[in-house]
């Protein structure tokens, strides 16, 4: 899909058979790859998953409530890229979240955060804390967390729980 120049012959051949062209987001492609792995048990490269990505993104409303066949082609995906696509798909799906929360730096402060997350069904995938650049009191520590959730609804619940228990919670990727 990411070719520097579309070939004249390809464009000429396709023009009479093309009703509409759409542009899909990278996030939608990653989510399509993830859905194909989880639901269809098929590994499809990004270029082969763009049809499903367009449907997921809602770019083809004229297909709603119709029986549609989407060509899924190309399993030529590098395992490293596949891993990245799966993680990106999980993030788009709300099943992988990240946030920064300021907690007490007294013994047990970070453990309380971990217990709060686990008791509410979230699994910590990565955690990093830092004290040096925190502008609040010296009895606090900023904890950056990447966590796994069940779905977007569960992620929203975790966000609400954190906000209810901590004064400073920065949710989402722009806070890292």
Q: Model confidence over 47-72: pLDDT tens digits?
A: 999 999 999 999 999 999 999 999 99
Share of the chain above pLDDT 90, in %: 75
Position of tokens 């119709």? 66
Helix 109-119 to helix 152-165 angle (10° resolution) is 150
| Judgement on whether residues 100 and 84 belong to the same structural domain of the protein | no
Residue 100 lies in a domain: yes
Instruction: Name the pTM for this structure.
Output: 0.80
Residues in contact with 168: Cβ distance below 8 Å, sequence separation at least 6, in sequence order = 101, 102, 136
| Judgement on whether residues 84 and 119 belong to the same structural domain of the protein | no
| Judgement on whether residues 37 and 26 belong to the same structural domain of the protein | yes
pLDDT on residue 122:
97
**Distance of alpha carbon 42 from alpha carbon 75, whole angstroms:** 8
Q: Name which of 138, 158, 160 is nearest 149 in CA terms.
A: 158
**Distance of alpha carbon 149 from alpha carbon 125, whole angstroms:** 10
pLDDT on residue 75:
85
Whether residue 161 has pLDDT greater than 90: yes
| Judgement on whether residues 41 and 86 belong to the same structural domain of the protein | yes
Q: Which domain holds residue 167?
A: 94-171
Q: Model confidence over 71-119: pLDDT tens digits?
A: 998 888 999 999 999 999 999 999 999 999 999 989 999 999 999 999 9
Q: What is the sign of the dihedral through the CA atoms of 128, 132, 136 and 141?
A: positive
Share of the chain above pLDDT 70, in %: 95
| Judgement on whether residues 18 and 77 belong to the same structural domain of the protein | yes
| Residue 106, domain CATH | 3.30.70.260
Asked which of 33, 67, 91 is the last residue of a domain, the reply is 91
> Which of 4-8, 125-129, 130-134 tops mean pLDDT?
125-129
| Judgement on whether residues 40 and 68 belong to the same structural domain of the protein | yes
Asked which of 38, 68, 91 is the last residue of a domain, the reply is 91
**Distance of alpha carbon 153 from alpha carbon 151, whole angstroms:** 6
Residue 1 lies in a domain: no
pLDDT on residue 132:
75
Residue 15 lies in a domain: yes
Number of domains in the chain: 2
pLDDT on residue 137:
77
């Amino acid at each position: 899909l990411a070719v520097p120049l579309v070939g004249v012959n390809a464009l000429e051949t396709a023009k009479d058979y093309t009703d509409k062209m759409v542009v899909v987001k990278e996030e939608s492609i990653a989510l399509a790859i993830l859905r194909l792995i989880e639901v269809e048990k098929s590994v499809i490269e990004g270029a082969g998953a763009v049809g499903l990505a367009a449907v997921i993104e809602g770019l083809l409303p004229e297909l709603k409530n119709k029986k549609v066949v989407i060509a899924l082609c190309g399993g030529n995906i590098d395992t490293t890229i596949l891993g990245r696509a799966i993680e990106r798909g999980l993030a788009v799906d709300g099943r992988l979240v990240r946030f920064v929360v300021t907690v007490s730096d007294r013994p047990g402060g970070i453990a309380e955060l971990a217990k709060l997350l686990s008791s509410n069904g979230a699994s910590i995938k990565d955690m990093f804390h830092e004290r040096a650049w925190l502008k609040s009191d010296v009895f606090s520590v900023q904890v950056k967390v990447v966590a796994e959730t069940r779905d977007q609804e569960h992620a929203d619940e975790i966000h609400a729980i954190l906000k209810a228990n901590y004064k400073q919670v920065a949710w989402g990727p722009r806070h890292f």
